[in-house]
Amino acid sequence: MKMQRPLRLRKRAEFLAVRAGEKRRGPLFLLEVKKRTDGDESRARVGFTVTRKNGNAVRRNRIKRRLREAVRTAAADDLAAGTDYVIVARPESLDAPFDRLVGELRSRLRGRKK
């Protein structure tokens, strides 16, 4: 059975709450993970942060699109229900091969360092 598509984090307070959780660093992005405490065990929620350090708006939007697609196509099954995830992109995530991006995301979601 295929898991439902994750919900999106949209409010600043939601992003800030996830910052208090576990941090899983990698060469392409930082993944912040936090189990929700509000009792909502439904779907996972994912947020994306791409700062101005990553380049102009065109580059930032391309990075966000690549990360959203990686989550949609490959990583949705690895997301734990009732958990919030924030992906903080690094500039290298734009030029990395998509397969590497997906592999990195899967290993970070499973909690492995490499």
The pLDDT tens digits of the residues spanning 63-94 come to: 999 999 999 988 878 888 889 999 999 999 99
Q: List domains and CATH numbers for the chain.
A: 7-109 (3.30.230.10)
Chain mean pLDDT for the chain: 90
Output 91 or 39, whichever has higher pLDDT: 91
Can you tell me the distance from the alpha carbon of 89 to that of 101, in angstroms, rounded to the nearest whole number?
11
Distances (CA, A) of 91 to 5, 73, 80: 26, 21, 27
Output 32 or 112, whichever has higher pLDDT: 32
